[in-house]
């Protein structure tokens, strides 16, 4: 019986070692390969092979990478290919991750301008949306996580200062702490609004961009369904959900309908 127990313990140890080994080894290998993929994408983009660069960077996104520099390079590659809708989408992603990224801001502006020119040439007119909505513009300098930290810190600072007022006796100190708590609570209100705005609370669906020119918005998820509207490349929509190979979107005017999934890119 004791020999059998010893064998079982040995088997268990071996299984644990294998499990540990398989759990650790792929992590390191994967980390190396992600960096290799990024380097290959960079090399391809630098030598002007934007198609290859897009493939490499898209592989990184599929592997779960959500990085401002990768999004920037991918947007640049799409921009070089003339796929401005995708370029706008990825520049917007880069800005969501790094709101102060001036390179991404310039890239986004260039992509919108280039798309506007192309649409104007094709249709005689084009609408270029250059200004974000008011709430986005107000909080555009801060990332969602920065605002969340600001809210947490300011709400606690404000609360603790209000509590401290109960024990403070010196008038000057009371005045200082009182002003400080008012400022902290003001910052808390501002950052709370920012957190809500960044998280799109109170709005249906997720932010998305149309990535192909002239996408038909249909009333049902079927190619034969009646066309309700047509969307231009680069147009912002709300992605409400998916139904088979269709995505349900809401346009800026509030009209909802279905577009092919590959024609809309979530930010």
Partner 1 sequence: VRGQIGDNPSITREPTLDGFWSQDLLPMQRSLTALRQDVNGRTFNAYVLRRFAAFPLRTGRLEIGAPAVEVGAGGSIFDLLTGPNKPLRRDGVKVGVEVLALPAQPTRGAKVHTGTLTLSASLDAAQAKVGDAITLRVTAKGQGNLRSLTLDNPRIAGLDVLAPEIDDKLTHELDQIGGERVFRWLLLPRAAGSYSVPTFSVDVFDAATRQFSTVRTSPLALTVTGAAGEAAPSEATPAPQELAAPQFGPVRLDSALRRASPLLSQRSFYWPSVLAAPLLLLGLLGLRVSGRELAKRRAADGDQVALREVDEQLTAAARASAGGDAQGVLRLLGSALKKTLELRLGEPIGGLTSSALEKHLLARGMDPKTAARVIAQLGALERARFDPLAQGALELNRAIEGVRALVRELGRFRAGPALDASGQRRAS
| Sites of contact with partner 1 (CB under 8 A) | 34-36, 38-40, 42-49, 52, 60, 64-70, 72-73, 75-77, 79-80, 87, 97, 107, 110-111, 114, 144-145, 147-149, 151-152, 155-156, 158-160, 162-163, 195, 198-199
Do 184 and 161 form a contact (C-beta atoms < 8 A)? yes
Closer residue to partner 1 (CB): 77 or 231: 77
Closer residue to partner 1 (CB): 4 or 166: 166
In the complex, what is the shortest distance from the CB of residue 130 to partner 1, in angstroms, rounded to a whole number?
18
Q: Please, what is the Cα angle at 43 between 50 and 109, to 5 degrees?
A: 50
C-alpha to C-alpha distance for 101 and 73, rounded to whole angstroms: 13
Closer residue to partner 1 (CB): 86 or 251: 86
Closer residue to partner 1 (CB): 139 or 258: 139
Burial of 34 (0-12, 13-18, 19+ CB in 10 A): middle
In the complex, what is the shortest distance from the CB of residue 72 to partner 1, in angstroms, rounded to a whole number?
6
In the complex, what is the shortest distance from the CB of residue 18 to partner 1, in angstroms, rounded to a whole number?
26
Residue 213 makes CB contacts below 8 A (sequence gap 6+) with 85, 119, 122, 232, 233
Closer residue to partner 1 (CB): 151 or 209: 151
Closest CA to 234 of 11, 83, 103: 83
Closer residue to partner 1 (CB): 84 or 246: 84
In DSSP notation, 5-23 reads: HHHHHHHHHHHHHHHHHHH
In the complex, what is the shortest distance from the CB of residue 256 to partner 1, in angstroms, rounded to a whole number?
25
C-alpha to C-alpha distance for 160 and 162, rounded to whole angstroms: 5
In the complex, what is the shortest distance from the CB of residue 36 to partner 1, in angstroms, rounded to a whole number?
8
3-state secondary structure of 237: strand
In the complex, what is the shortest distance from the CB of residue 89 to partner 1, in angstroms, rounded to a whole number?
13
């Amino acid at each position: 019986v004791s020999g059998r127990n010893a064998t079982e313990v040995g088997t268990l140890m071996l299984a644990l070692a294998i499990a540990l080994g398989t759990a650790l080894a792929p992590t390191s290998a994967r980390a190396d390969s992600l960096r290799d993929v990024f380097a290959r994408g960079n090399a391809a983009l630098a030598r002007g092979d934007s198609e290859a660069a897009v493939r490499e960077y898209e592989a990184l996104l599929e592997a779960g990478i959500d990085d401002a520099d990768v999004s920037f390079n991918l947007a640049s590659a799409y921009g070089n290919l003339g796929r401005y809708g995708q370029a706008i989408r990825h520049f917007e992603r880069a800005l969501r991750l790094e709101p102060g990224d001036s390179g991404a801001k310039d890239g986004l502006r260039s992509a919108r301008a280039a798309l506007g020119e192309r649409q104007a040439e094709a249709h005689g007119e084009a609408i270029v949306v250059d200004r974000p909505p008011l709430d986005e513009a107000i909080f555009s300098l801060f990332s969602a996580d920065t605002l969340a930290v600001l809210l947490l810190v300011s709400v606690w600072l404000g609360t603790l200062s209000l509590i401290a007022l109960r024990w403070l006796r010196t008038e000057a100190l009371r005045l200082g702490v009182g002003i400080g708590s008012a400022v902290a609570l003001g910052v808390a209100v501002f950052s709370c609004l920012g957190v809500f705005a960044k998280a799109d609370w109170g709005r249906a669906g997720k932010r998305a961009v149309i990535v192909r020119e002239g996408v038909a918005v249909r009333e049902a998820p079927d190619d034969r369904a009646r066309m309700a509207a047509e969307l231009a490349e680069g147009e912002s929509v709300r992605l409400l959900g998916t139904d088979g190979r269709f995505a349900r979107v809401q346009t800026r005017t509030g009209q909802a309908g279905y577009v092919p999934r590959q024609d809309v890119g979530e930010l």
